[in-house]
Chain A
């Protein structure tokens, strides 16, 4: 299973990962359109929210079977089948399935790793696990 592994303790909240993600997929520097979210915590630290490809509740919940798992174990959304109900967003226990104003469909991390290069502190890395 391939996924983006996060290390909250290393995160400095620079948001470079969000920029990289939103630019790669939506061609705009808009944190709301990033599949990884940097959440500032009251104690001054940060928590990284992103799909760990593990819970997969979205796969079971999708009424059109638009969400499936690819060969690398990554949860993928087939936009041709997605009818934009956002049930997957509601059912995700870690808020990693995203919805953003102006978009017809949900989106999520596909473990592409584009954000990893932008991270100055190695707070994220692509990992493959059996």
Chain B
């Protein structure tokens, strides 16, 4: 089924453009994965300049998220908040980024002070923008200031040209805007593939959960597709800066664009993984068939699929939203990589999908996804067991520039508040927020996009809603804290962590807020019992966050690391680490940069940036132990209903771990005892992990540790000293 055609009147759009600034720069090839310069753009003053990357910056911060955070640190003050002009949106790549050989090498890392958390958020996103910007000559783009009127920032990487211009005519919603950008800047059909756009949407103008869309033009579908820097509200920051789009155009990509030291080694390592994926993916994760949505039925089977605001971990109707349900909706047989050379090809999409609600009702569109997190958040967690409804929520979240994870988790919170009669039709302006009411969920989203009604309250995100419901609706503050699934202000991503203490830590200690990209330890901990002691868990909560941070320093995707495994991986000494793939990363890093990295030095690169980010949170008044405490819903049963749903498990824990005989005790009493026990366990875990990370019991990195890892920069030590006093 064909999509509804988007008509773009290029001349009409161009006629309204007002050039504010033009900047020319010298074109230079990338050398061994680095440009050694970044691009600075200020949309208040229209200043554009390039900044040199020093050897020290490269050594200490490596690239990607490291560069983004370093630039952000230097740009802000201790009191900068998300909507201050000095806040930045920094998009950085990393030395490995943009190679076309190793699957998953096209990621951009976006850093900004988050409107949800008031600390730096970092988001890892596909699409062509990052690699094209890199080959245009920059290791990062740093965007500061606030424009007076809507602007577009345009980088032409072949002409060495950067422009800021007013763009009043362009759409705000991403699926239209991205099409307008390819029509505006591509001279012919082939060049459309050389354009990538960063944008948000109307939702991001009225909600703090705004995301960024990074486009990539799909030659076969002939449509601009969208990948999301979803977490933490960076789309909100973009629209607050009155930026409609940041666009890059670059022609000339090749296998040698990074000018690697050892192209043969890079090709060999990439080809080895390509072959592994082709041979094994069908029996392992089926990423090439259905993408991350394959996880839905697995999570349901292990009681981990968030259902009804994380109350439960499975549902009898899950087959209606599992991978097979979505398989019937998506288009098959296309090389769905979000960057060239990714044979994992998990960026699935439905085409000609007919919308049933909202401003584009009746139109047929391409929907990117859904990914697992979207199915969990906008499906089971809000009780929607309807694949087409999930698809539509996915589409509108993307084009409105809203994070599907935050939208799902906060809507789940709203629906539980409805169930518990904190909310009613009067308070929601008529929205019936019952479990499973997908039409109401979509109408809530359309309200956000229009800046109307209850949508404006929902758009504040879970943390601010808790407060609002207490103040305006007389809700019980303890209940709000227990069931509002956020930590540090960021909504949880979509896994039930109740029965895995290690994952509770993996979520709640994650620097940016509870996203699973630092650690996903549920199987190691809960299913396989490989990390039974606090020390074991602490070691895992050291190693995996450090290892995974490295993807963000390099411009890599995490998925090809362990969503396909070598056939003999289970026979290795540490299967959870996938040792052969870690060696692949060492090999491609050295092949591109000419470095001499090994597995230990890889962790050290991450540890420096990780601790820097931690100290940056502290500098902004957060990063304290209290900020790492999860809501109880993510730790154990809040209600008697939840306790009863897993009564045998909980009773057994009382008997065997707590030493209390549950017989004859009321559920309420058992709940109380279990809660005390689990909260204590979590505190012990914090102690163990902080110690392993080289931090004080308050979560402050010690000067000795910072010296040991080579992150003893004077400005970093100054913040730490302030907190140790």
Contact = CB atoms under 8 A, between A and B. Distances in A.
Contacts of A91: 274, 278, 343
B132 to A, nearest CB: 12
Interface stretch (A43-51, A57-65, A113-121): A57-65
Contact of A89 (B100, B253, B254, B271): B271
B205 to A, nearest CB: 34
Contact of A87 (B193, B264, B335): B335
B340 A83 contact: yes
A108 interface: no
B255 A61 contact: no
B270 A86 contact: yes
Contacts of A105: 255
B340 A64 contact: yes
A89 B335 CA distance: 14
B582 interface: no
A65 B192 CA distance: 13
Contact of B255 (A63, A83, A102): A83
A102 B101 contact: no
B267 A86 contact: yes
Given A63-B335, A104-B263, A85 B341 contact: yes
B421 interface: no
B284 to A, nearest CB: 16
B278 A90 contact: yes
Contact of B267 (A62, A64, A65, A84): A84
A101 interface: yes
A66 to B, nearest CB: 10
B37 interface: no
Given A61-B335, A62-B335, A85-B101, A101 B264 contact: yes
B100 A83 contact: yes
B264 A84 contact: no
A65 B256 CA distance: 19
B274 A89 contact: yes
Nearest to A92: B278
Contacts of A86: 101, 267, 270-271, 274, 341
A99 interface: yes
Contacts of A61: 335, 343
Contacts of A89: 271, 274
A3 B613 CA distance: 59
Contacts of B256: 84, 104
Contacts of A85: 100-101, 255, 270, 274, 340-341
A15 B254 CA distance: 32
Nearest to A102: B264
A85 B254 CA distance: 9
Interface centre among B271, B277, B333, B337 (most CB of A within 10 A): B271
Contacts of A104: 254-256, 263
A60 B333 contact: yes
A101 B591 CA distance: 14
B646 interface: no
Interface string B88-108: 000000000000110000000
B220 interface: yes
A64 B263 contact: no
Given A84-B254, A86-B101, A99 B335 contact: no
A65 B333 CA distance: 14
A81 B176 CA distance: 27
B505 to A, nearest CB: 38
Contacts of B277: 90
Contacts of B264: 101-102
B343 A90 contact: yes
Contact of A99 (B100, B271, B337, B341): B271
Contacts of B270: 85-86
Contacts of B278: 90-91
A65 B218 CA distance: 10
A99 B219 CA distance: 25
Contacts of A64: 193, 219, 340
Contact of B220 (A65, A87, A90): A65
Nearest to B275: A90
Interface string B235-254: 00000000000000000011
A63 B126 CA distance: 15
Contact of B219 (A60, A65, A84, A90): A65
A65 B193 CA distance: 11
B190 to A, nearest CB: 8
Interface in B272-315: 274-275, 277-278
Interface in B637-671: none
B418 to A, nearest CB: 45
Contacts of B271: 86, 89-90, 99
A20 B335 CA distance: 34
A85 B342 CA distance: 8
Nearest to B256: A104
Interface string A51-73: 00000000011111100000000
A77 B705 CA distance: 54
Nearest to B334: A60
A84 B100 CA distance: 7
Interface string B429-471: 0000000000000000000000000000000000000000000
Interface in B98-131: 100-101
B281 to A, nearest CB: 11
A87 B281 CA distance: 14
Contacts of B340: 63-64, 83, 85
A87 B343 contact: yes
A62 B254 CA distance: 14
A83 B343 contact: no
A84 B254 CA distance: 6
A115 to B, nearest CB: 25
A83 B341 CA distance: 8
A129 B472 CA distance: 79
A101 to B, nearest CB: 4
B337 A63 contact: yes
A95 to B, nearest CB: 10
Contacts of B263: 104
Interface string B210-221: 000000000110
A127 B123 CA distance: 54
A104 B255 CA distance: 6
Given A62-B335, A84-B267, 15 more contacts: A61-B335, A63-B341, A64-B340, A83-B255, A84-B100, A84-B101, A84-B254, A85-B274, A85-B341, A87-B341, A90-B277, A91-B278, A99-B267, A102-B264, A105-B255
Q: Which 5 A-B pairs have the closest CB atoms?
A: A84-B255, A85-B341, A90-B274, A85-B100, A101-B264
29 contacts: A63-B335, A64-B340, A65-B219, A83-B100, A83-B254, A83-B255, A83-B340, A84-B100, A84-B101, A84-B255, A84-B267, A85-B270, A86-B101, A86-B267, A86-B271, A86-B274, A87-B341, A89-B271, A90-B271, A90-B277, A91-B274, A91-B278, A91-B343, A99-B271, A101-B264, A102-B264, A104-B254, A104-B255, A105-B255
